[in-house]
Amino acid sequence: MDIDGVEIRDSFAEAFPMRATRILVTAPDRGWLEAAARTATGFATSVIACGVEAGIERWLDPADTPDGRPGVALLFFATSRRTLESQLVARVGQCILTCPGTACYAGIDGSERLPLGRSLRFFGDGHQIAKRFGERRFWRIPVMEGEFLCEHDTGLVTGIGGGNFLILARDFPAASAAARRAVAAMEGLAGIVLPFPGGVVRSGSKVGSRYAKLSASTNDAYCPTLRGRVEHSALPPEVGCVLEIVIDGLSADAIVAGMRAGIVAACAGGRANGVRAIDAGNYGGRLGPHHFRLREVLAA
């Protein structure tokens, strides 16, 4: 299979179950909203070292938010409920509560719940006030600028982490341009986030290491500088740069939609734009039960 001469390798992206949640954040204007969103989802690229993977799912018009103000939907993923709860409360408390003008709401239903205002209300030092609207409970927490409105809790659901594809290109400019096309095509799609910087990771990893303390290490099969030095390089001579896009999603269908949009965009212009092949990161089925086969994704 190929797209305009770009080979689609017969491989699969290997992903694993995660726990996930969504919150909605609003603010008086886009400036404060973006400050809160970027800060709350910072240092959240990989559970290998960050504990949580997070990102901006989509920006919301005032008509689509609970309080009629500009908003943003943020997704958070972790490998356990305990970790996700700890990270969520810390990030809302340190990055959204502190940001001028913001409010925080539940963004997803679920029979299991994660605390938001339930934990953060104690910052009010006894001056916090509970309000209930229908089945939803909120906390008004006094702050120097006025008050922080925060919903009592939000839903906890099962998600998927580690959907991915690799862009094998002639050189860095070609790989960078293809990755940016892919990210632009995937931004705003419902139910997914791209947690790495700008949606792209250059340091793709493999499971395990020769150093006992490390659970993951550089994916040497895709490192151009190691071609000819490692036993099983996956790169032909004409590939000088590889960039990876990692996708976390609330469902398999959401990840498939994201991968398909991203791969098609990355291949736009074909080999003339310097892209040679699309591959995927997997570990022979040892990492997780979700296998997204590239050719099946594109045929869906």
Would you list the domain boundaries of the chain? 2-15+160-299, 19-157
| pLDDT of amino acid 3 | 95
Predicted pLDDT of residue 235: 96
Helix (H) or strand (E) holding 118: helix 117-120
Quick check: 286 pLDDT over 80? no
> Could you say which DSSP state residue 213 is in?
T
Q: In this structure, what DSSP letter does residue 242 have?
A: E
Q: Which pLDDT belongs to residue 103? A: 98
Average pLDDT over residues 157-162: 96
Going by pLDDT thresholds of 50, 70 and 90, the confidence category of residue 215 is: confident
CATH topology of domain 2-15+160-299: Alpha-Beta Plaits (3.30.70)
Q: Does domain 19-157 have CATH number 3.30.70.520?
A: yes
Distances (CA, A) of 226 to 242, 245, 255, 284: 12, 21, 31, 21
What mean pLDDT is predicted for residues 115-132?
Answer: 98
Decide if 17 contacts 160 (C-beta within 8 A).
yes
CA distance 195 to 249: 11
DSSP helix/strand/coil, 64: helix
> Could you give the CA distance from residue 120 to residue 137 in angstroms, rounded to a whole number?
13
Kindly state the average pLDDT of the residues 214-239: 93
**pLDDT for position 67:** 97
Strand partners, 23: 74, 106
pLDDT of 218 higher than 80: yes
Please work out, in degrees rounded to the nearest 5, the angle formed at the alpha carbon of residue 37 by the alpha carbons of 112 and 147.
80
Confidence of residue 283 (pLDDT cuts 50, 70, 90): confident
Element (H, E) at 265: helix 252-266
Longest dimension (CA), the chain: 67
Judged against a pLDDT cut of 90, whether residue 123 lies above it is answered with yes
Output the six-digit token pair for 18. Answer: 């995660």
Q: Which helix (H) or strand (E) holds 38?
A: helix 30-40
Which residues partner with 160 through β-bridges? Answer: 17, 249
Tens of pLDDT, residue by residue over 49-80, are 999 999 999 999 999 999 999 999 999 999 99
Other Cβ atoms within 10 Å of 159 Cβ, number: 27
Tell me which residue has tokens 């990030």. 91
Contact, 159 vs 19, CB < 8 A? yes
Average pLDDT, the chain: 96
Summarize pLDDT for 160-198 with one digit per residue, the tens.
999 999 999 999 999 999 999 999 999 999 999 999 999
Average pLDDT estimate for 8-17: 96
CB 78 within 8 A of CB 16: no
User: Which residues have CB under 8 Å from 2's CB, separation 6+?
Assistant: 8
Determine the pLDDT at residue 198: 97
pLDDT digits (tens, 9 = 90+) for 68-121: 999 999 999 999 999 999 999 999 999 999 999 999 999 999 999 999 999 999
Provide the pLDDT confidence category of residue 284 given band limits of 50, 70 and 90: confident
Q: Give the C-alpha separation, 33 to 100, whole Å.
A: 9
Question: In this structure, is the dihedral angle defined by the CA atoms of residues 101, 106, 108 and 113, taken in order, positive or negative?
Answer: positive
55-74 exposure pattern, b = at least 16 Cβ within 10 A, e = fewer: bbbbbbeeeebbeebbbbbb
Residue 13 to residue 235: CA distance in whole angstroms: 17
The reported pLDDT for the residue numbered 127 is 98
Q: Residue 173's pLDDT is what?
A: 98
